[in-house]
């Protein structure tokens, strides 16, 4: 039987700051270039992987305090900073993906009958290291 995991325990750090309290969604996508290496004698296309790439889309609830996303994330746009994504939360042996990201954009939205929300688009710079958290 599959073992599911609730998202409520997930942890996300950006530039070494834990912003989890203001985050309600993280979409972490990793991909590789698809290179066509088809030669004569093949009936189907032949492929190999090329350079890797990735994006992380995050978003959540706006906060007015000094540790909120407006203060922490907005100043980072256009810069490359470290990230740490822990989908199962913080704890020894739990998985974590770490690396660097370019903060490509930061968006705030304010529907009149709802709370202020924010989103940010992060582009992975270089390699992502996947491993288990230490004690």
- Interface with another protein (CB under 8 A), residue from 2, 16, 92, 115: 115
49-69 in b/e form (b: 16+ CB < 10 A) is eeeeebbbebbbeebeeeebb
Residue 14 phi/psi, 5-degree rounding, is -125, 125
| Residue 15 binds another protein, judged by CB under 8 A | no
| Residue 22 binds another protein, judged by CB under 8 A | yes
Q: Of 8 and 45, which CB lies nearer to another protein in the complex structure?
A: 8
Q: How far is the CB of 78 from another protein (least distance, A)?
A: 26
| Residue 129 binds another protein, judged by CB under 8 A | no
Q: How far is the CB of 108 from another protein (least distance, A)?
A: 15
Q: How far is the CB of 117 from another protein (least distance, A)?
A: 11
Q: Are strands 95-109 and 80-86 parallel, antiparallel or unpaired?
A: antiparallel
Contact in structure between 104 and 123 (CB atoms under 8 Å)? yes
Helices (H), the chain: 69-72
The contact set with another protein (CB under 8 A) reads 7-12, 18, 20-24, 60-61, 63-64, 113, 115
């Amino acid at each position: 039987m599959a073992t599911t995991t609730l998202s409520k325990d997930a942890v996300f750090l950006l530039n070494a700051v834990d912003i989890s309290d203001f985050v309600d969604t993280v979409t972490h996508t990793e991909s590789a270039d698809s290179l066509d290496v088809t030669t004569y004698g093949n009936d189907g296309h032949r492929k190999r992987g090329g350079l890797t790439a990735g994006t992380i889309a995050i978003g959540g609830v706006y906060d007015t305090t000094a540790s909120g996303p407006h203060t922490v994330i907005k100043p980072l746009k256009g810069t490359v900073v470290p990230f740490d994504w822990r989908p199962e939360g913080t704890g020894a042996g739990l998985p974590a993906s770490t690396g660097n990201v370019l903060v490509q954009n930061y968006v705030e939205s304010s529907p009149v009958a709802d709370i202020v929300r924010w989103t940010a688009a992060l582009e992975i710079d270089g390699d992502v290291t996947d491993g288990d958290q230490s004690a």
